[in-house]
Amino acid sequence: MKYPAYRKITRKIEQLFRSITRTEDGCWLWNKSKLTNGYGMASFESKPITVHRLSYRLFRGEIPEGAYVLHSCGNRSCLNPDHLRCGSAAMNMQDRMDSPLGWRAGSRGKGVSPEEHAEIFAMFDAGHSAYKISKSPLSTGRVVTESQLSFMRRNRKLIETTDADKRKRCPKPLKPRRPNSVVTIIHTNALTA
């Protein structure tokens, strides 16, 4: 028996709601299969689709061709339609740069500072798993994905060596020079004249 279109959509929405966890900040987190980059996956109309795009289609309507579905919350596994909006590739890149993960969110931890590396390695030494560390932000507010953390754990010696080289090249920030008071007075007088 063929179901009418609204019946299929209703069943899919029911399936989605059984597969999410609601958080205090309003995110609906996908609990089932995910891609390595953190996006949830499902199937709809016999085709694989990321769950945030599926959620947008079910609750908001069709996605314009070539458009991206962006997260206002920055959480890739969130499928709350209130946190989703359509946008361009440029808007997507701007969101990525503004997110707590930073520009290098998918680059295996290259955007993580030496201080953050030290904090992460201390957590590993204390017995925390990559999964547990990925669920809480670092002291700087940055959130690091589980795959980044696993990469860092596997390549710890290389990362620590690289961080040590960075500290040798620039051991501490330079102090700003005081402006020459004569030049400042002349410049100020020239502006007021």
What CATH architecture is 1-99? Alpha-Beta Complex (3.90)
pLDDT of 183 strictly over 50: no
Tokens 């289609």, residue? 57
> What pLDDT is attached to residue 192?
52
> What pLDDT is attached to residue 141?
74
The CA distance from 185 to 31, in Å, is 64
Per DSSP, the residues of 151-165 read: HHHHTHHHHHHHHHH
Write down the pTM of the prediction.
0.51
pLDDT digits (tens, 9 = 90+) for 128-179: 888 888 888 777 777 788 888 888 888 888 888 877 766 665 555 545 555 4
Q: Of the given ranges (9-13, 46-50, 68-72, 87-91), which has the lowest mean pLDDT?
A: 9-13
Q: Are 25 and 80 in contact (CB under 8 A)?
A: no
- Residue 134's Cβ-side half-sphere holds a number of Cα atoms within 13 Å equal to 17
> What pLDDT is attached to residue 169?
57
* Average pLDDT estimate for 110-116: 75
Strongest mean pLDDT among 30-39, 96-105, 118-127:
118-127
Q: Are 56 and 82 in contact (CB under 8 A)?
A: no
185: its two tokens: 């007075």
Confidence of residue 124 (pLDDT cuts 50, 70, 90): very high
